[in-house]
Amino acid sequence: MTELPDSKRHKVNETNILDNKCAYFKPKNGKRCGLQVRKGQIFCFAHIDVANGTTVKDVSTGVSTKEAEITRTDKNGKIIRRVKCTIDPTHTVWEDRLTKHVKNCNVVKKKKEIADMERNVDWFSIDYNVKEASTAEATKTDEKEWKTCMHKWIAKHDLIFTDELPLENIQFKQGLEERFAELSNQKHIIQQSSLIGQLINNGLISENENPGIVIEFGCGRAEFTRYFNRAIEEINKNKPHCGEYLLIDRENPRLKFDKKIAADSEAKGNQNVKVERLKVDIKDLKLIEALRGFQMQKDSSIVGKEYLGISKHLCGVATDLTLRCLINTTRDISLSKDDLHLKGCLVAMCCRHCCKYEWLLTESKDFLREQFEIDETNFIYLRKMFAWATNGVPPGKSKDEVGDHFSGLSIGEREVIGLKMRRILDESRKYAMVKKGFEVKIVRYVERNVSLENNCIIVKNAI
C-alpha cells in the first residue's frame, strides 16, 4: 500500500474525525476518498487496511482481511462481525443485517433490471452477439515462454508485413471551422476531421446524399456524432439534411451532446434531425430490432433504409463485438423482410489490451493460429504486448532505458514491438471481415503525436 504523503498525514488527525469522511488519500491524484466512516473510525471499509499499512485481499472475492476482522457491539452487548454478502461475495455487510441486505443488494437489482429488459425490450438480448463465442484464453504467464513467442511472432510479422500501414491524415474542415478556431488543443478535432474525411474518401458518405441511419458504437458523450452531423450539414447544404443518429453505449455519461446535435441543426433551420440513445452493452444488442424501433418512431417503414456504423476510439473488446454485431445484423436482415442495407462501418480502434480471445471472430482466430501459431494458450502474451505501443516514456526516463523489465529491451524497443503485435491483431480482424464478404482497409488516420491510438478499420459492404 502506498503511504500517505507527509503533506497529507496531518489531515487524518485534524479533519477526518470531525467530518466523518475516510482519511485515505488516493496516490494517483492526491484526493481524499470521501466515503462516510463509522463514528470513531478513520478509514472506510474499502481502506481500513491502510491503518496497518498493508493490503491483504482474498483473491477470489477482493475483500481485504482487515475488513473481514471488523466488529461492532450491538445494544445487547453481542459482537457483530462483517461477513461476505451471499449474493455478491466481493463486499461485506454486518452479520445481523445480511437477511435484509440480500433482498436489496445491487446485484439483485441489476439481475432484476436485466430480466425485465429481456422480457420487455426487443433490442435487448443477453449475449446475442457472442452466442457462438467459446474458448477462453489462458490467464497465467511464463516469462521464458513469453520471450519465445515474442521473437517468433516478430519474425513472422516482418516476413508477412513488409510495408508499413499507409498514413492518410485527412484534414477535412467543412462544417468544423468553428471548432478548429476555438480550440488550442486540437488533438480530438484533428482526429474527428480525419475520420470524417476517411468516410468521404472511401465512399461511405457523399455530397448531397443522405447517410441513412448513423450508429455510433461506444459513443460516450457522442462528441464524434455531433461533429459528424455538422460536417454532413455543410456538405449537404444544397439539399435538406435528414439526420438520424442512434447512439450506443453501456454507460450513461454526464455532459452528453445528444441535445446539442439536434440544436446545431435547428440553429440552421433544420428540424429534421433525430437522436436516440440506447444504454446497452454491444454484446447484448440486437441491432435489427433497434433499427426497427428507431425508425418506427419516425414513420411506418424502414424500406430501402441504409445504415452506417462509426466509432472513435472504441475499446478493443468492443471493436470485436461491433464487428460481430454488424455480421449478425446482416444475417438477421437476410432472414427477414426488412429492406435494410449496411453501407459499412468505420472504427478508430483502441485499447487492444482489453480484448478477449473468446470474442474474436472465428476467422480472426483462424488467421492468428495459421499465420502466427497464436491460440487461447498464448494469446495473453500478445494482449499484454499491445500496451507497449501506448505506454509512452515515464517521467524522468528515456526511450533507451531498460530498467528491470524481464524482456531486456528498452522502452523504445518495446514500443516498436507493441506496434507490430497491434498490427497482427488488426490484420486478423481485416482477414475475418474479408472472409465475410466485406471490403476492408486499415489505415493510420493521424500521426502518433496526435494520438498513440491512430489506426482505424474501414469496412464496406461489397453487396
Q: What's the CA gap between 273 and 188, in Å, rounded?
A: 24
More confident call, 375 vs 44: 375
Q: What's the CA gap between 441 and 443, in Å, rounded?
A: 7
| Percent with pLDDT over 90 in the chain | 61
Between β-strands 79-84 and 92-94, what pairing exists: parallel, antiparallel or unpaired?
A: antiparallel
Predicted confidence (pLDDT) per residue in 140-178, tens digit:
999 999 999 999 999 999 999 999 999 999 999 999 999
Per-residue confidence (pLDDT) for residue 13, from 0 to 100: 41
Using the structure block, give the residue that is written with the C-alpha cell 511472432: 153
Q: What's the CA gap between 456 and 443, in Å, rounded?
A: 6
Radius of gyration over every alpha carbon of the chain, rounded to an integer in angstroms = 26
Predicted confidence (pLDDT) per residue in 88-105, tens digit:
887 888 889 999 998 889
Q: What's the CA gap between 164 and 149, in Å, rounded?
A: 22
What is the DSSP-derived secondary structure letter of residue 101? H
Q: What's the CA gap between 423 and 88, in Å, rounded?
A: 39
Lowest mean pLDDT among 324-328, 396-400, 435-439: 396-400
Number of other residues whose CB lies within 10 A of the CB of residue 380: 17
Average pLDDT, rounded, for the chain: 87
- pLDDT bin (cut points 50, 70, 90) of residue 357 is very high
3-state secondary structure of 79: strand
- Residue 15 confidence (pLDDT) above 50: no
Q: What's the CA gap between 153 and 163, in Å, rounded?
A: 16
Q: What is the DSSP track for 123-146?
A: TB-TTGGGTT---PPP----HHHH
Q: Which domains does the chain have, with CATH numbers?
A: 18-55 (no CATH), 69-120 (no CATH), 147-461 (3.40.50.150)
- Residue 1 confidence (pLDDT) above 50: no
- Residue 52 confidence (pLDDT) above 50: no
Residues in Cβ contact with 332 at an 8 Å cutoff, skipping those fewer than 6 apart: 286, 287, 288
Q: What's the CA gap between 459 and 441, in Å, rounded?
A: 7
Q: What's the CA gap between 102 and 387, in Å, rounded?
A: 39
- pLDDT bin (cut points 50, 70, 90) of residue 239 is confident
What integer is the mean pLDDT of 93-118? 90
**Looking at this protein, which amino acid is placed at residue 187?**
K
Predicted confidence (pLDDT) per residue in 336-356, tens digit:
878 889 999 999 999 999 999
- pLDDT bin (cut points 50, 70, 90) of residue 12 is very low
Per-residue confidence (pLDDT) for residue 192, from 0 to 100: 97
- Residue 276 confidence (pLDDT) above 90: yes
Please give the helix or strand (H or E) that residue 253 lies within, else none: none
Q: Which of 368, 295, 278, 286 minimizes the C-alpha distance to 324?
A: 286
Using the structure block, give the residue that is written with the C-alpha cell 492468428: 368
Q: pTM for the full model?
A: 0.84
Q: What own/partner pairs with CB < 8 Å and gap ≥ 24 does 31-35 have?
A: none
